[in-house]
Structure 1
């Protein structure tokens, strides 16, 4: 029995770290079109944006921990806004990096996912995403946020465990395309709000107060990261 268990664990490990065959080019393009259809229409985006909010707030939380701050909790709201609360020095590099991580997290996660998929690590991507969602769930502090995380994590878990190879590939590529494409729109939305005098306490404005660098420069950084990630990620995805 011990030998059988060891063999099963070995097979599972090989499955996770191993590579899978690249999907047909039409599937890669089709999943990109599906992701674009979730980002461009306003009505669909209002719902789909919840996934970007998860990545946004997860970015704040992860960088807060990596820079030595204490993460108190994360809240996700039905209007697709979110809030990450951490404790530590109210200024300095750690606070700056934490504030800058929100808008840059979704496109950078998409870029990392594209790198994994371009090397055939479809299952590894799904498992890493599931682990990150599970870790974030522990820090959620409101009911809507918990429900959102359970549904998202459950989807990844079901696909990674039960779905066929083709379904896993389609799901993984759709998610990565969505992170890349969906990571671009929030910065433009923030720019529009600031142009009309709104979002006075946005990440860009917080960074301006922390660094004395104009909020417009930080907004330009958000645009640069998201657009460069989209270009680089798309090249990886389309050249498999």
Structure 2
């Protein structure tokens, strides 16, 4: 059986290009997906795994932007994570890298919701696949590799086979990331562990740990407001 490379290229291009304005059903799919995450503990746990991956990608991405070297990351059995970047042990770059983890899921989630409801699910999925491949190369444990490979497989399936439901699924994942960002912020606020990011920031700066928690709260709140505005605009079109 021969492959028609022209048809394959056209199919690929169609899946990469923007979809145009999202249909009203997209919003219902997104809301249904996030409702499942809220109501079903197994889905909630799965979403927390994605939140951890995005959290560590936030550390790594900002670290690279400020000139640090991304050396790898792991996701632990308890769904905590750890990204390693090399560079100066103090200074603005280290501060920015340490701060970036907790708001990353909320910021990315909001941008994904806006993009999906605006008809850009295809480009979002392609960029996500590229980023996940980079993270796969930088994974430093068998568990981490398995989780990233699974995420790549699911993302690729949604991109290629999602069809008319693709934008709704992407929007729902964005909302789930937002929900997970608030969950993780609550967890770290209740934690008394000495190695938490806000306590590390307190050691790196003259500002107390509570100040850094508040900045994450503001970032999550701003991201949530942006996503809710996009949802409201889509609701108006239903």
Give the TM-score normalised by structure 2.
0.88
Q: C-alpha displacement at 1:119, in angstroms?
A: 2.4
Change (3 A) 1:102 1:147: same
Matched-pair contact (CA < 8 Å) for 1:23–1:169: no
Change (3 A) 1:96 1:39: farther
What does residue 56 of structure 2 align with? 57
Return the alpha-carbon distance in structure 1 between the equivalents of residues 178 and 214 of structure 2: 17
SS of the aligned residue for 2:99 comes to: helix
Change (3 A) 1:59 1:40: farther
Is 1:86 aligned to 2:65, yes or no? no
Q: C-alpha displacement at 1:130, in angstroms?
A: 1.5
Within-5 A mapping of 1:158-177: 158-166=157-165, 168-177=166-175
Instruction: Report how many residues are paired.
Output: 231
1:209 aligns with one of 187, 203, 225: 203
Matched-pair contact (CA < 8 Å) for 1:116–1:125: yes
1:188 aligns with one of 171, 176, 186: 186
Return the alpha-carbon distance in structure 1 between the equivalents of residues 153 and 196 of structure 2: 31
What does residue 232 of structure 1 align with? 226
Return the alpha-carbon distance in structure 2 between the equivalents of residues 36 and 225 of structure 1: 23
Change (3 A) 1:42 1:203: farther
Unaligned 5+ segments in structure 1 are none
What does residue 212 of structure 2 align with? 218
SS of the aligned residue for 2:184 comes to: helix
What does residue 117 of structure 2 align with? 118
Q: C-alpha displacement at 1:33, in angstroms?
A: 4.6
Unaligned 5+ segments in structure 2 are none
Q: What value does the CA root-mean-square deviation take over the aligned residues?
A: 2.2
SS of the aligned residue for 1:239 comes to: helix
Matched-pair contact (CA < 8 Å) for 2:15–2:160: no
